[in-house]
Structure 1
Amino acid sequence: MKLFGYFRSSTSYRLRIALNLKGLEYENIPVDLRTSEQKGEAFTARNPFGSVPMLEADGRDRAQSMALLEWLEEAYPDPPLLPAGSEDRYTVRELAHAIATEIHAINNLPVLRYLADPLGHAQDDIAIWYRHWLSRTLGPVEQRLAQLHTGDFLFDRPGLFEVVLLPQIYNARKFDYDLSDKPHTTRIEAACLALPEFERAFPDNQTDSPDYIQPAGE
């Protein structure tokens, strides 16, 4: 497998976590979003969406992170990203899709760039926009977690919800979003970040990150 992505892309981050949780080996191939490499002819010839992540697997180039996560779960069911029962699966999907559709879709890089140019909004205004949409969905997510009385993870181990949550919390911290009133969310975040699968997927630990430090002996 080859994962084409960008260290700070939240959707690429999702796929790195999921692949690590599945125990699947993959080659990480950086695509520079700062120079719009993903919009170049060579890339769009393979992925017409002109977006990351793109996963080259089983002779096919696959795009769109949520569809990719579903494919991984079907093609490589063990260990699972979804719990066994239909009600628990619904709970996971309810929370994961709320974050993916109500936060990420409206706060992703193309939207933020469009707000700046051509619409002409200042960076401070864009940050207000970003935090508004975080609050609109992270608040209800926290309330749902409180209703469920979760432990370190939504269920007994990290899965689809944590895969989608962690990149968004990383972004929230970048925009100085106050998480002090979200103890369930931050507890799950801390438990995930303590695991090697999440540590390896962390943006700063990717070779295309300016903060990357090559491990000793490599």
Structure 2
Amino acid sequence: MANVLITGATGLVGGHLLRLLLREPGITSITAATRRPLSPMPGVTNPHNPQLLKALAQVQGPIDIVFCCLGTTRRDAGSKAAFIHADYTLVVETALAGQRLGATQMLVVSAMGANARSPFFYNRVKGEMEGALIAQRWPRLTIARPSMLLGERKAHRLNESLLAPLFRLLPGNWKSIEAKDVARALLAQALSPGEDGVAILSSARLRQMAARQRTAG
């Protein structure tokens, strides 16, 4: 049985994950810290504040597992500074909130190509975020690196719409992946016995894990 904290529950992957958590008998309690209030859901505690850091400060323990599904683009964020705040600062602060409340496992949605030394801003920030979480020395840390995410977003992203048909045809890690499959894989990873330490799940690996969950279900 596990008590869960999730951030990013209003997003593409996080929304799917929240619904899976609600149906999972191994989950004792769910705390979803958000900027905007969620629709009331039995079994979900929803501290919310337009400043997510203030919502996280309201979270009460105990917490066993932390899921972070936060993520945006530089275009949607509006500036480099705002992107760093969303995809680095808030992710790191989510992890710290979980540690403060006793969590021993952290799972985060990063991105394919994350690399702290990348010349590309997006990939570099994602890589720096991963490095910061690793430095927190979690007993068990899972980093998911999906390719292009597929699914119905509340806000339309033109570049993704244009590139989606191409990414569906690409092989291996480059092939696009359904957001709900990322959520399935994250939950399976969280509830599996697994080894301690850092696990990095490639996009191809996420698809394989999700396929096994669909078959088992």
TM over 0.5: no
Greater helix content:
1
Greater strand content:
2
Instruction: Indicate the structure whose relative CO is greater, using CA pairs within 8 Å and at least 6 residues apart.
Output: 1
TM class by shorter chain equals: 0.3 to 0.5
With the length of structure 1 as denominator, give the TM-score of the two structures. 0.33
With the length of structure 2 as denominator, give the TM-score of the two structures. 0.33
